[in-house]
Structure 1
C-alpha cells in the first residue's frame, strides 16, 4: 500500500512554503522522484517542481520574494531555487518539438498532461499539489507504483527513440523499484540496444555507475546481457564476469562492507590493467576512479597472504577492493589505520651515509622488512637499520 504523501517530511518545509507563496500554488506542482519515493516510504533527497510560469517569471517572482535562483538549465526551462532547506529545480511545463535520441528541442507548454506525456515512465509522471498534496496521475503511475511495475508512458519504442538513454534508465529503475517485468519494455530495449552507441560516454557511465550503486543489480545486469544491452555499453562483461559480480555482492553483504560502484565495475572486467585502462578511458571516468579500477585489476592470489602489508602498500580502500574481488576476508582492514614508518633519511645520514641514492635504497630496504615483520616498534627498526648498514659495501 502506498504511503500518504502528507506523512513525508519534505512537503512541510518552510522553504517550500515560501517558494509556493512566491510562485503561486495554482502555478506549481511537486513532481518526479520526491513524489514517487515518498509514496513508497523511501528517503527523499531532491525536490523538483513543475510550473506554468516561464523561467523569466520564475526568476522575477523569486527575486521579489528574496529567493535566490541559479539558471542551471535555462535553455530547457529550468532554474534552481536555493532554499535554506535544500535546492529545488523549477522547470516550466514542456513539450518536445524535435528529438534525435540524444537531445531534444523543446517548447514551453501550459497543459499538465502534455508535460507528463513527455516524461519517461508512468511512476515519474506523478504531480502533487503543493497545498493539498493531491496527486495528479495521467498515465496510471499510481497503479504501477503499487504493483512495482516500471512502464514507459505510451509506446516504449517511441520513448526510447526520443532519448536512447532511457534504455539504461529503464533497467536502473527496474532494478530499484520493479517486481514484475514489462515484456513490451524489455523487447523494445533489446531491439533498440544498438542506439546506445550514439550516446556520450559520460552519460552512459553515469547511468551504469548509478545502477551498480543499487543494493543488488546482479539479476538486472544479467538481463541486460541476455537482451544485448550490456554488450553495447560494456562488451568486456561476459557471463563469467557477471558471476564474479554476484560473488562480490555476496562478499560485501556477508562482511558488512558498504557497496561501491567502481569496485563492482571492476568485477565486471577481467583482471587486466590494460582492459581497465581502456574501459576507464572509454567511459571518461575521473582520475580517481581510473586509478581505483586499474589498481583492482592488478589483483593476484598472493594479495590475500598479507592483508596489512597490502593495505600499507596500495592503500586501505584498494586493498579491500582486491580482497573482496578475490573472495578473501577483508574485515581485518575495516577499522585499520596504516602506521607511520618511524625512520627518516636524516637518521641514516647521521649514521655516516652520504645523502643521496644510498639513503633512499637503505630506507626502502628497512621499510620492506618493517612491513614484512608486521610493523614492529622503533627499537626494532633501529636494529633493522643496523643490519642494513652492515650489508652496505665498504668505501674503497
Structure 2
C-alpha cells in the first residue's frame, strides 16, 4: 500500500477546493465510502491544462449516492443508474458520480458490468493510462496502473492490449488521435497506432453523431494537423470523412493559430480540410450530423474564401464578403483563403496583406445597400421579377464601385435607366 504522505499530490487545482465539489465529497464520505476525482480533471491538472468537466468515482452504489445527496440537501439526477452514474448539482455545478465497475462480459459498448469496490478493476476498464488517474479530496493522486509516468511524458497509451480496448468501443480509434492531438507529445504510441490501423473497419460501425462529436473535438485540438496527417497516411481519415482531405491546407490553417482564435473552430477546420465545393460541405455536415447553423457557417466561410484574391489588396474583397455573408463568415473566409495561399507557398509578404484584410474584416462596418424595394416601386417598377432584376443589377453596380456610390447617385442611375432595366 502506498504511504499517503509520500504519494504525489495535485498542485494548483482550485476546482478541487471549490465548495460544490467539497460538498459532494462530504455527502458520499458520510456513508463511510470512498470518492475520488478521475480522468480528465486529474490529467489536465497534472498537465496544467484547463479543467472543464469533473467526473467522480466512488465505492458507493448509485442508490446510496442519491440518498446521500438528498440528505445533504443537494439536488441529484439519476443520469444513468444502470451504469452507476448519478449527477449531483452542488453550488450550481454538475458533478457526475459513477460507482466503480468491472467488466464481466464484453460486447462492444454493450459490455455487461457489475458494480465493485476495486479501484484497479475500475481503472482497467478505461481507455488510456493517463486517464486512469484518481485524486481524493486532499489532492492525493492514486495511480493503480502506473499511468502517471505516461501522463507526465504526454504519452498516450492504451491500457492493456490495444486491440481489446478498441474492440470494446471503436470510437477509441478516434479518441486515440484526439487525445494525442490535445495532450500528446512526440510520436504516436506504435502499438496503439498499429491496433487502430488493423481495426479501422470498426469505424464504419459507429453512429454519425458519435463520429461527429469526436471529430469536432479533434480538429480543434492543438496537435490536430499532425494527428489528421497520420490518420490520412493510415487510411483512417478517408473512412471517417468519406472523402478526400486537404491536409496541407488544414496544416496551413493551424499555422495561423497565433493570428486568430477562429482557426480552432471545428466548422472552419472542416471547411478547410474537406471543402473543395459546396457538395463536400454538405457531405461533411451529413456525415457528422452537424446542425443547420454549423452547416451554414461552413458554406459561408467557403463563399467568403472564394471572394478573396490570392494576393488581397484594398478593402473591396473584404467589404464584399462582409456584405454577402456577414462578419463571422467573412473573417473565417479570410483565414481559409490565407491558409490556402500558405499551402501553395505564397511569399511571406502575402501574410501582411492577409493580416491587413483580417483586421479590416474585424473593424469595418458591414456595407448597407442604400436603396430599398420601395425606391424601385416609386420609379414605376411593379413588385415581381422585373423589380428583382433591376435591384440586383443596381446592387452589382454599387458593389463594383467599391461600395462608394451613395443613395443620391444610385437614385439618379435608377432614374436614367427607365422602368425597363438598369444598365450597368
TM-score normalized with structure 1 length? 0.90
Question: 1:383–1:253: structure 2 CA closer, same or farther, 3 Å change rule?
Answer: same
Q: 2:326 aligns with which of 308, 315, 319?
A: 315
The aligned runs of 1:73-92 (5 Å cut-off) are: 73-92=80-99
Check if 1:230 corresponds to 2:241. Answer: no
Using the TM superposition, give the Cα deviation of residue 394 of structure 1 relative to its aligned residue in structure 2, in angstroms: 6.8
Residue of structure 1 equivalent to 2:3: none
Residue of structure 1 equivalent to 2:337: 326
Deviations 1:22-80 (A, max 9, x none): 11174211111111111112211111110112222111111121111122223322121
Using the TM superposition, give the Cα deviation of residue 344 of structure 1 relative to its aligned residue in structure 2, in angstroms: 2.8
Question: 1:300–1:65: structure 2 CA closer, same or farther, 3 Å change rule?
Answer: closer
Using the TM superposition, give the Cα deviation of residue 17 of structure 1 relative to its aligned residue in structure 2, in angstroms: 1.6
Q: 1:55 aligns with which of 57, 62, 66?
A: 62
Aligned residue for 1:393, secondary structure, equals coil
Partners of 1:230 and 1:43 in 2: how far apart?
28
Q: 2:22 aligns with which of 17, 42, 45?
A: 17
Check if 1:176 corresponds to 2:182. Answer: yes
Partners of 1:257 and 1:334 in 2: how far apart?
12
Check if 1:303 corresponds to 2:308. Answer: yes
The aligned runs of 1:317-396 (5 Å cut-off) are: 317-327=328-338, 329=354, 330-331=357-358, 332-351=360-379, 353-376=381-404, 380-393=406-419
Name structure 2 gaps, 5 residues minimum: 1-6, 342-353
Check if 1:141 corresponds to 2:147. Answer: yes
Using the TM superposition, give the Cα deviation of residue 218 of structure 1 relative to its aligned residue in structure 2, in angstroms: 0.9
Residue of structure 1 equivalent to 2:198: 191
Alignment check: 8 A CA contact 1:312 1:338 kept: yes
The aligned runs of 1:23-38 (5 Å cut-off) are: 23-24=28-29, 26-38=33-45
Question: 1:393–1:199: structure 2 CA closer, same or farther, 3 Å change rule?
Answer: same
Deviations 1:139-183 (A, max 9, x none): 111111111111111111111111111111111111122224321
Aligned residue for 2:308, secondary structure, equals helix
Greater CA drift, 348-357 or 198-207: 348-357
Alignment check: 8 A CA contact 1:366 1:381 kept: no
Alignment check: 8 A CA contact 2:129 2:147 kept: yes
Q: 1:263 aligns with which of 268, 273, 281?
A: 268
Alignment check: 8 A CA contact 2:166 2:173 kept: yes
Question: 1:173–1:3: structure 2 CA closer, same or farther, 3 Å change rule?
Answer: farther
Q: Give the aligned CA root-mean-square deviation in angstroms.
A: 2.5
Q: How many residues align?
A: 389
TM-score normalized with structure 2 length? 0.84
Alignment check: 8 A CA contact 1:103 1:163 kept: no
Using the TM superposition, give the Cα deviation of residue 363 of structure 1 relative to its aligned residue in structure 2, in angstroms: 3.7
Check if 1:66 corresponds to 2:73. Answer: yes
Question: 1:320–1:205: structure 2 CA closer, same or farther, 3 Å change rule?
Answer: same
Partners of 2:185 and 2:389 in 1: how far apart?
60
Partners of 2:192 and 2:183 in 1: how far apart?
15
Partners of 1:394 and 1:341 in 2: how far apart?
21
Greater CA drift, 293-302 or 259-268: 293-302
Alignment check: 8 A CA contact 1:272 1:298 kept: no
Deviations 1:328-384 (A, max 9, x none): 62412123341433433334444555455554444434433333334347xx21220
Alignment check: 8 A CA contact 2:129 2:156 kept: yes
Alignment check: 8 A CA contact 2:250 2:273 kept: yes
Using the TM superposition, give the Cα deviation of residue 10 of structure 1 relative to its aligned residue in structure 2, in angstroms: 0.6
Partners of 2:227 and 2:292 in 1: how far apart?
28
Aligned residue for 1:268, secondary structure, equals helix
Greater CA drift, 351-360 or 276-285: 351-360
Using the TM superposition, give the Cα deviation of residue 253 of structure 1 relative to its aligned residue in structure 2, in angstroms: 3.4
Deviations 1:297-319 (A, max 9, x none): 45675533612112211222222
Question: 1:301–1:71: structure 2 CA closer, same or farther, 3 Å change rule?
Answer: same
Using the TM superposition, give the Cα deviation of residue 135 of structure 1 relative to its aligned residue in structure 2, in angstroms: 1.2
